Structure 1
Amino acid sequence: MPRPRKFVERDVVSSASEVFVANGLAATTLDDLVQATGLGKQSLYNAFGGKRELFLRALSEDREEAARAVSEALQHGDASPLERIRGHMLRMAIEFSRSDGRVSLTTRALVESTGEQDQLSTVTRTGIEQLAGVYAHCLEDAQRNGDLPPDANLSSLAMYFVAITRGMELLGRAGVGRAALTAVALDALHVLPGQAGAGPARA
């Protein structure tokens, strides 16, 4: 009869994720993961299949959490769809400018992705598309409200917001301050069709 596992997989994945975020996939060693998770090498192999498989597991969980967080931020409320996106972008500017902030595992994977048709690139691309889908739903609401023209390319605009937020994340990690990231967040909506005449962004 096999011995029951004495660890919680989610806790192990979370601890491994922190290491992967800090070091990246290529630079993370099994010894790093052993130290972070408290599991032996054989236990890691038995439970997850190896370093790359553990990274992909952590990346998938990061992807789901990121999509859930953005979805909650853009949920229906008293604010208009574009106001909800604006508020979300401002919150991201604050979050990404924190001195103790870190990039998400999805963004780390984007940086390391080679663009080849491998599993890492596929999982990373799926995460980006999932985030874009969340923005697209909010933009659809804006279009129904008349805040965006009927011919607006919502798929492209949704991917634009993914690119802006991932870029802000990397800029924050590089030390770009809150004022600069806030300006980016405020200006982001002014490229939307029908919004260009709104004038310069104001805090």
Structure 2
Amino acid sequence: MGRPRQFDEERVIQRACREFWAKGFDGTSTADLCQATGLTRSSLYNTFHSKEHLFRRALSHYVNTMTARQGTVLDASGSSGLERIRSLLTVIVDDETANQESGHGSGCFTVNTITTIASRNPDIARVVEADLHRRLSSLRLAIMDGQLDGSIAADRDPGDLAWYVTSLVYGMRVAAQSGAGRTALEGIASTGIEALTP
């Protein structure tokens, strides 16, 4: 019978997530993961089997957390569809500004993954793709609500607009990594909102 684990697996995944988020899959070494998690190499691999498996667990943790957060914003009752989209973009501005101020401007873990390892790793690509579908679905529903309440242009396809908002969010994340501050990000968000209105 093996010895029981002496660590919190979820906490290890959270710490690994921060490390992969900051350095990417290729830039994160086993030594980095050991230092970040406090585990020995053998404990790390006995539990997670491979660096790739741990990366998938870390990415899943990130996307589940962020998608749930997006869902909370977009499902808010008492607000128009447009106001819910505006609130989502405000969250992005606040996140990126806070990241810049703390010196942790790592952008979006999902975007970073899409532009690096996802294209060459089908398992990781599936995690990203499933998350994208969940995000698009919640955006589409909020947009349809906005079209019904008159706050969002009704002559446009909700699916197309959901892709537009997703692209806007990704673009804001990349712009922040490129040095765009709060004022610039707020300008991007404002212009994006104007494009949705009737």
TM-score greater than 0.5 by the shorter chain:
yes
Shift of 1:62: 0.8
Match of 1:112 in 2: 116
Instruction: Quote the Cα distance in structure 1 between the aligned partners of 2:184 and 2:28.
Output: 32
Match of 1:71 in 2: 71
Structure 2 alignment gaps of length 5 or more: none
Q: Match for 2:146: what amino acid?
A: A
Instruction: Quote the Cα distance in structure 1 between the aligned partners of 2:21 and 2:76.
Output: 32
Written as runs of structure 1 = structure 2, the 5 A alignment for 1:155-174 is 155-174=159-178
1:150-175 deviations in Å (ceiling 9; x for gaps)? 55211121122111112111211222
Match of 1:191 in 2: 195
Shift of 1:80: 0.8
Instruction: Quote the Cα distance in structure 2 between the aligned partners of 1:163 and 1:2.
Output: 48
- Asked if the contact 2:81/2:152 (under 8 Å) is kept, the reply is no
Q: Match for 2:183: what amino acid?
A: A
Shift of 1:48: 1.0
Percent identical among aligned pairs is 29
1:119-139 deviations in Å (ceiling 9; x for gaps)? 122212222222112211211
Name whichever of 94-103 and 63-72 sits farther off: 94-103
Instruction: Quote the Cα distance in structure 2 between the aligned partners of 1:54 and 1:134.
Output: 28
Name whichever of 176-185 and 143-152 sits farther off: 143-152
Match for 2:180 among 161, 173, 176?
A: 176
Instruction: Quote the Cα distance in structure 1 between the aligned partners of 2:169 and 2:152.
Output: 21
Q: Which runs of 4+ in 1 moved over 6 A?
A: none
1:84-132 deviations in Å (ceiling 9; x for gaps)? 2112212321321232243232122122145356112221222222211
Root mean square deviation of aligned Cα: 1.8
C-alpha distance 117-151 of structure 1, shift in aligned 2 (>3 A): farther
Name whichever of 117-126 and 161-170 sits farther off: 117-126
Q: Match for 2:15: what amino acid?
A: S
Match of 2:10 in 1: 10
Q: Match for 1:131: what amino acid?
A: R
- Asked if the contact 1:67/1:134 (under 8 Å) is kept, the reply is no
Matched, 1:85 2:85: yes
Q: Match for 1:53: what amino acid?
A: H
Match for 2:125 among 121, 140, 149?
A: 121
C-alpha distance 117-173 of structure 1, shift in aligned 2 (>3 A): closer
* TM-score, normalization by structure 2: 0.89
- Asked if the contact 1:90/1:186 (under 8 Å) is kept, the reply is no
- Asked if the contact 1:62/1:104 (under 8 Å) is kept, the reply is no
Q: Match for 2:149: what amino acid?
A: N
- Asked if the contact 1:97/1:178 (under 8 Å) is kept, the reply is yes
Matched, 1:51 2:51: yes
Q: Which has the higher helix share?
A: 2
Name whichever of 168-177 and 181-190 sits farther off: 168-177
Instruction: Quote the Cα distance in structure 2 between the aligned partners of 1:68 and 1:77.
Output: 16
* TM-score, normalization by structure 1: 0.87
Shift of 1:32: 0.7
Report how many aligned residue pairs link the two structures. Answer: 194
